[in-house]
């Protein structure tokens, strides 16, 4: 499995940048897929390559989700990470809810 990691660019030189994660760790990343980016821009990084630019709010949201996943992987309960899902089934998208209501097994 490959996870996208939100990072903030701290140095940029053409299609190569030094980017920092929320925990302070840094790595050189390839910007070929998103083009040159300014210092301060958030990007979503997969295997050393930026694949998408992010606004700061979206970067923080992804970072929180990754932190929650880490808590669950180290023995935390689902409520420690995804309290909004604890004790209930996630809602179906409208087209699947309609199919279920009609007794169909597929959308």
Is residue 80 over pLDDT 70? Answer: no
Torsion on CA atoms 36, 38, 44, 46, rounded to nearest 10: 40
Q: Which residue intervals of the chain bear CATH 2.30.30.140?
A: 5-63
Q: Which tens digits make up the pLDDT trace of 54-63? A: 999 999 999 9
Q: What are phi and psi of 82, to 5 degrees?
A: -135, 65
The pTM (predicted TM-score) of the whole model is: 0.72
Per-residue model confidence (pLDDT) at position 10: 98
Q: How confident is the model at residue 13 (pLDDT cuts 50, 70, 90)?
A: very high
Whether 2 shows a pLDDT value over 90: the answer reads no
CB 51 within 8 A of CB 34: yes
Q: Which residues pair with 102 in a beta bridge?
A: none
Q: Could you report the per-residue pLDDT of 81-92, keeping only the tens digit for each?
A: 666 666 777 788
| Architecture (CATH level 2) of domain 5-63 | Roll (2.30)
Separation CA 33–CA 7 (nearest Å): 15
pLDDT one-digit tens code per residue, 26-69:
999 999 999 999 999 999 999 999 999 999 999 999 998 888 88
pLDDT of residue 67: 86
Beta-strand (E) ranges in 1-107? 5-13, 16-20, 26-30, 42-46, 49-54
Q: How confident is the model at residue 107 (pLDDT cuts 50, 70, 90)?
A: low
């Amino acid at each position: 499995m490959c996870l996208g990691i939100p990072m903030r660019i701290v140095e940029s030189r053409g299609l190569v940048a030094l980017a920092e994660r929320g925990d302070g760790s840094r790595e050189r990343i390839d910007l070929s897929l998103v083009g040159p980016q300014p210092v301060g821009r958030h990007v979503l990084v997969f295997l050393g390559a930026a694949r998408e630019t992010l606004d700061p709010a979206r970067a923080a949201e992804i970072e929180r989700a990754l932190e929650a996943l880490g808590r669950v992987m180290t023995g935390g309960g689902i409520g420690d990470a995804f309290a909004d899902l604890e004790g209930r089934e996630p809602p179906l998208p409208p087209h699947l809810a309609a199919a279920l209501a009609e007794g169909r097994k597929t959308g």
